[in-house]
Structure 1
Amino acid sequence: MPRSTAEPLPVTADDLDQAVQLSLATLREAPSTAWESKAGSLEWDCWETVEHLSDDLFAYAAQLGPKQPPLDSEVPFVYESRRPGGPKNTVHANRAAGAAGLLQVLDASGALLIAMVRTTSPQVRAHHVFGVSDPEGFAAMGIVETLVHTHDLAEGLGLAWAPPADLCARVLARLFPDAPSDTDPWTTLLWATGRAELPGHPRLTTWRWYGAPRP
């Protein structure tokens, strides 16, 4: 299903909520013994990848949180890796809580960003390494992180994962304006984040998104 050429719909907190809940529903099907498997093409295991995704959502919420959000730096939480080569996170799940606890951490971190997007003025701006963005932009970033990392996790956990095409199309329009619009949105999003081939287009070895507020 190619993307529509009509004016794209905004990315909303409801879209982010949908992405997080679909991810959680999929990940809850994982075997309890699979969480130490490598997550797709990543160098992290599946447990670490859920922690990283949770940390992404938490960090985006935190950027929007101060009364005067920083425009040139991240809110200075301490980010630490639990092992050499592991993700550097503020958020770490208590392993004694098992996979159910890990997914509760993801659910809670997602809820923080969903709430911030719902309640923050669209005029607010905050720093991201790819450029200053607005609440809609941070919602779209959170959705991309959720969709593509759930793809990584599904590969490692042996699960099926195919998010809604319309959701993929909206975040492509918001963050990847130069991506092809006449191709399947989910495949295109995987291509835009360096995870898939797209017929007629060279595979990306580096990538970024563009979170600048809409004109």
Structure 2
Amino acid sequence: MRRQAEQDPATPGPVTADDLDQVVQLALTSLREAPATAWDGKAGSLEWDCWETVEHLADDLFAYAAQLGPRQPPLGDEVPFIWEPRRPGGPSNAIHANRAAGPAGLLQVLESSGALLIAMVRTTPPTTRAYHGFGISDPEGFAAMGVVETVVHTYDLAEGLGLEWTPPADVCARTLHRLFPDAPSGEEPWPTLLWATGRGELPGQERRTSWRWYGEPRG
């Protein structure tokens, strides 16, 4: 697995397909340590169980890849797949894993969805723009969105599954710079990203009860 060189978080570079590849593989390595009997428990503070949360994460990565897929990506709405829950209160997904395949199959679905987005970010011209509800974005922006979804939902899953999880600080720093221009500086990147997504505390900052990112390309 290729790794980015360490960068000064004060001057982060762009979020890349390699960054997304790295965090997806690190998440898979952690999640493979979970007991087979633990997947029906809640994922941290979410209302979904751990199985549903992995399906939701896989669905996010798939959806971002699909949004970049058309020769002329839509700028006014999402590509119109059907997203629907399988139970009241469950995540609205187009992607579902076959439960008969067990946790190994579930994680294979996650890895495949991640690979689709990684490939689209690598091959889509950087001038391409596509719709997202948090701002029309470019391939780097969709890579950064995929990083956020992966690292924070793996955090939720780690809480529910009893696992350790700390993603790379340099990737978190680049992602914060790309998507969260309102985040405070001077703190460690991973705790700041947890704060930015309503999952943690930062000194001198109120805990967020609602949040969003800003997908538009940075000038």
1:4 is aligned to 9
1:83 is aligned to 87
Q: Which runs of 5+ in 2 are unaligned?
A: 1-7
Q: How does 1:1-215 map to 2 (within 5 A)?
A: 4-6=9-11, 8-215=12-219
Instruction: Calculate the TM-score normalised by the size of structure 1.
Output: 0.97
Q: Could you list the runs of 4 or more consecutive aligned residues of structure 1 that deviate by over 6 angstroms after TM superposition?
A: none
- 3-state SS of the aligned residue for 1:144? helix
Shift of 1:4: 3.2
CA contact (8 A) 2:9 2:170 kept: no
Query: What is the identity percentage for the equivalent residue pairs of Structure 1 and Structure 2?
Result: 76
Letter in 1 for 2:10: T
Q: Which runs of 5+ in 1 are unaligned?
A: none
Question: Higher relative contact order by CA 8 Å / sep ≥ 6: 1 or 2?
Answer: 1
CA contact (8 A) 1:26 1:161 kept: yes
Instruction: Calculate the TM-score normalised by the size of structure 2.
Output: 0.96
CA contact (8 A) 2:130 2:137 kept: yes
How many equivalent pairs are there?
212
Q: Residues 143-175 of structure 1: CA distance to partner in whole angstroms, max 9, x if unpaired?
A: 000000000000000000011111111100000
- 3-state SS of the aligned residue for 1:111? helix
